């Protein structure tokens, strides 16, 4: 791990039964942390046989890990302007099957916050794409830093992981912070008429790896 990052420690862990609106249910082991560099309340959900995945990481299939950025509108209210809610639902089931961790990172709006994200939505309604809108508000296109994700993984004794993501920046940053990324596993593409422009912008400007079908 990059020596510029202090070590984080596990603060609390507790089992929480999870149930999604479509009826899918599982149990997650929720971890909280002390010592995270941004002092925010990030969570890790251990899903499936995550302990076995951690034990075999050096010689076998490593834990499947998704760093998921919080999206109140998509994750909680089912907003169709993004694909965050369906990606979260997919990630929980896939990680539970493989064994690993969902890192729920408090990085609303690619790091700019909830109110600015909604301000960006208004600019998108006026014709800007999701990245242009952030810049017009005085922010970077993407302000997320995955140092806390690296800290969380080390605290969980994960030093080698397969990442469930279409975003190569997550893999690149975690590698820079000393986590061995054994592979990048593509997420599904959850396309709708309401989010087609958003997904196209992520693919073209954010370098997200996604094969976008045509909206019928």
Strand 9-19 to strand 25-34: parallel, antiparallel, or no bridges (unpaired)?
Answer: antiparallel
144 is catalytic: yes
**CB count, 10 Å around CB of 1?**
14
**CB count, 10 Å around CB of 28?**
23
**CB count, 10 Å around CB of 23?**
6
106 near 149, Cβ under 8 Å? Answer: no
142 is catalytic: yes
- Cβ burial of 125 (10 Å; 0-12, 13-18, 19+) is exposed
* Active-site position among 144, 159, 169, 175: 144
Look at residue 39 and give its three-state secondary structure.
coil
Residue 158 is encoded by which pair of tokens? 């994960």
**CB count, 10 Å around CB of 42?**
22
* Active-site position among 75, 119, 129, 142: 142
Q: Which residues are tagged catalytic?
A: 142, 144
């Amino acid at each position: 791990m990059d020596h510029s990052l202090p070590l984080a420690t596990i603060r609390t862990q507790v089992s929480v039964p999870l149930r999604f609106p479509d009826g899918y249910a599982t149990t997650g082991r929720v971890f909280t942390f002390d010592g995270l560099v941004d002092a925010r309340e990030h969570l890790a959900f251990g899903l499936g046989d995550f302990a076995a995945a951690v034990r075999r990481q050096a010689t076998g299939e490593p834990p499947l890990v998704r760093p998921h950025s919080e999206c109140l509108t998509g994750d909680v209210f089912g907003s169709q302007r993004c694909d965050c809610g369906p990606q979260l639902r997919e990630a929980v089931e896939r990680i539970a099957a493989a064994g690993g961790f969902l890192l729920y990172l408090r990085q609303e709006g690619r790091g700019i916050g909830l109110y600015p994200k909604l301000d960006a939505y208004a600019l998108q309604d006026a014709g800007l794409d999701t990245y242009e809108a952030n810049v017009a508000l005085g922010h970077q296109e993407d302000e997320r830093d995955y140092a806390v994700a690296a800290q969380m993984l080390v605290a969980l004794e994960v030093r080698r992981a397969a990442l469930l993501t279409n975003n190569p920046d997550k893999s690149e940053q975690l590698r820079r912070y000393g986590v061995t990324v054994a592979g990048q596993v593509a997420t599904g593409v959850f396309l709708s008429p309401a989010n087609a422009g958003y997904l196209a912008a992520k693919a073209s400007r954010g370098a997200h790896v996604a094969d976008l079908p045509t909206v019928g």
